[in-house]
């Protein structure tokens, strides 16, 4: 199939050569299929949907969080427009069952789960993986209702910790912090995949503690290889953080790394290919 693939520059474009391996053609004009990734690409979505109304139109919707709808940040994306674009698509794809649940409950919208690949990046020269004992959470700063739980829990548990807000550090500054952490914590109310730092850390052999909230997609990517706390119990988070720090709470770091190693562009492309064939045959 001829595929017009619209995505932000960077790792999300890695799907293209994987699709070409399966016999698809990446085009800029006259596509059979349009795949758009990210709310950031709404204007391009509108333009190509108008230009090619007969194409199979796919929106890969990374996330729709309750805070973005009910407590938007200044200059937040227009989610009313994004909802309309998704509704006008042939199908909406999501990276996890967490996002599928969000779309069903917030927008009354069906979607199809296609897990993303997980990009890995080399450590800076001279940087080695080691355990300096501190907890690490590395997420984008947002108005999530549990955004302060991690730091509060670490303080109450009296364990060393570090917090990294995505995009506030360079890659050269962030990678050693990740590589030297003792374990990772994703203590958040909503997060489509649990946070990219989880798959990055799992690849380095870091134990992980995450929320079991159905609106958090860590379980889709790491399953039972990591530990979970009860999402609505701050006390359980404190207890599990303590046990992660002492090593009392064990996780399957080898199993987690194996899962991440399977999250490749080639494997995602196979899922995309299979679903596109199904959609085309149903027309």
The band of 166, judged by pLDDT with boundaries at 50, 70 and 90, is confident
Dig out the tokens for 18 from the structure: 């994987």
Neighbour count for residue 111 (Cβ, 10 Å) = 22
Interval 123-157: pLDDT, tens:
999 999 999 999 999 999 999 999 999 999 999 99
pLDDT, position 167: 81
DSSP per-residue codes, 205-263: T--EEEE--TTBTHHHHHGGGSEEE-TT-HHHHHHHHHHHHHT-S---HHHHHHHHHT-
pLDDT, position 32: 98
* Residues 6+ positions from 260 with CB-CB distance below 8 Å: 118, 120, 199, 202, 203, 221, 222
Eight-class DSSP state of 191: B
Buried-state track 79-94, b at ≥16 Cβ within 10 A, e below 16:
beebbebbeebebbbb
Interval 34-53: pLDDT, tens:
999 999 999 999 999 999 99
């Amino acid at each position: 199939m001829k595929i017009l693939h619209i995505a932000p520059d960077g790792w999300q474009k890695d799907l293209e050569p994987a699709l070409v391996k399966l016999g698809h053609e990446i085009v800029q004009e006259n596509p059979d299929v349009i795949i758009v990734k990210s709310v950031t690409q709404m204007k391009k979505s509108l333009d190509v949907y108008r230009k090619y109304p007969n194409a199979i139109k796919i929106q890969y919707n990374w996330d729709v969080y309750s805070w973005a709808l009910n407590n938007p940040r200044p200059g937040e994306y227009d989610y009313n427009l994004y909802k309309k674009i998704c509704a006008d698509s042939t199908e909406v794809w999501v990276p996890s069952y967490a996002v599928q649940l969000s779309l069903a409950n917030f927008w009354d919208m069906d979607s199809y789960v296609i897990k993303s690949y997980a990009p890995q990046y080399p450590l800076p020269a001279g940087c080695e993986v080691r355990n300096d004992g501190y907890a690490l959470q590395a997420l984008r700063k947002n108005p999530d209702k549990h955004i302060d739980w991690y730091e509060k829990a670490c303080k109450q548990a009296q364990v060393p910790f570090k917090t990294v807000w995505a995009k506030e550090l360079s890659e050269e500054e962030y990678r050693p912090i990740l590589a030297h952490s003792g374990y990772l914590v994703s203590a958040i109310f909503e997060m489509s995949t649990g946070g990219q730092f989880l798959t990055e850390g799992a690849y380095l052999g870091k134990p992980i503690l995450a929320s079991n909230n159905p609106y958090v997609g860590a379980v889709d990517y790491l399953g039972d290889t990591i530990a979970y706390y009860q999402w609505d119990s701050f006390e359980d988070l404190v207890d599990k953080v303590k046990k992660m720090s002492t090593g009392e709470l064990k996780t399957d770091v080898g199993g987690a790394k194996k899962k991440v190693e399977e999250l490749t562009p080639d494997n995602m492309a196979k899922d995309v290919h299979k679903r596109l064939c199904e959609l085309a045959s149903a027309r």
